[in-house]
Amino acid sequence: MFLRIDHVGIACHDIEEKIAFYESKFGLRVVSREVNEEQGVKEAMLHIADAPGGGSYIQLLEPLGPDTPVGKFLAKRGEGVHHVAFGVPDVEDALRTIGGEGIRLIDERPRHGSMNSSIAFLHPKDMGGVLTELVQAAPEES
C-alpha cells in the first residue's frame, strides 16, 4: 500500500531560519511554499529525491497560532519530528482499507495537502505514537 516515504514533517518556531539551515548545511532546495489555513500551518517542502509515485521531501511546519495542531505540539514537545507521511496510490482506497483494520482515522475523507496532494491523517494513539499521514500526489506529479 505504501509507495514511498513522501515526507517527514518537522515542527519549528521559525520556518525561515530552518529553511536557511537545510539550504546552507545540506544544499536542499525549496520546491513549494504554502499557507494552509485549514491545517493551521505555514509550510515549505524541500526536495530530497524522486521516488515511485511522486517525490520525497522534508516538510517544515510553522504554526499559524498556538491553538493549531502544530502550535499545540510545539508547546508540549518543542521542535522536532511532527509526523511521517507515506505516499499511497489512492488515498480514499487506503482510508477504506486502514479504517477496516480498526485504526482511528482523523480524516474520514481526503483534504487538501502540500503541492495539491490529497492527504489524510491517522491517529498517533493507534500508530505507536507516530502521527501518520497518507499522501496521494497530484496527478501531474505522478
> d(Cα 52, Cα 54) in Å, to the nearest integer?
6
CA 1, 43, 104, 108 torsion-angle sign: negative
Q: Return the number of other C-beta atoms located less than 10 Å from residue 69's C-beta.
A: 18
Tell me how far, at minimum, the Cβ of 51 lies from ligand MC0, in Å. Answer: 16
| From 15-23, 49-57, 90-98, 106-114, span contacting ligand MC0 (CB under 6 A) | 106-114
| From 12-20, 47-55, 68-76, 90-98, span contacting ligand MC0 (CB under 6 A) | 68-76
| From 18-26, 48-56, 70-78, 91-99, span contacting ligand MC0 (CB under 6 A) | 70-78
Asked if 62 touches ligand MC0 (CB under 6 A), the answer is no
Q: Measured in Å, how far apart are the chain's first and last C-alpha atoms?
A: 16
User: Looking at this protein, which amino acid is placed at residue 50?
Assistant: D
Number of residues interacting with ligand MC0: please give it, by CB under 6 A.
24
Asked if 133 touches ligand MC0 (CB under 6 A), the answer is yes
Asked if 27 touches ligand MC0 (CB under 6 A), the answer is no
Secondary structure element (H or E) that encloses residue 96, with its range: helix 91-100
> d(Cα 79, Cα 33) in Å, to the nearest integer?
19
Asked if 74 touches ligand MC0 (CB under 6 A), the answer is no
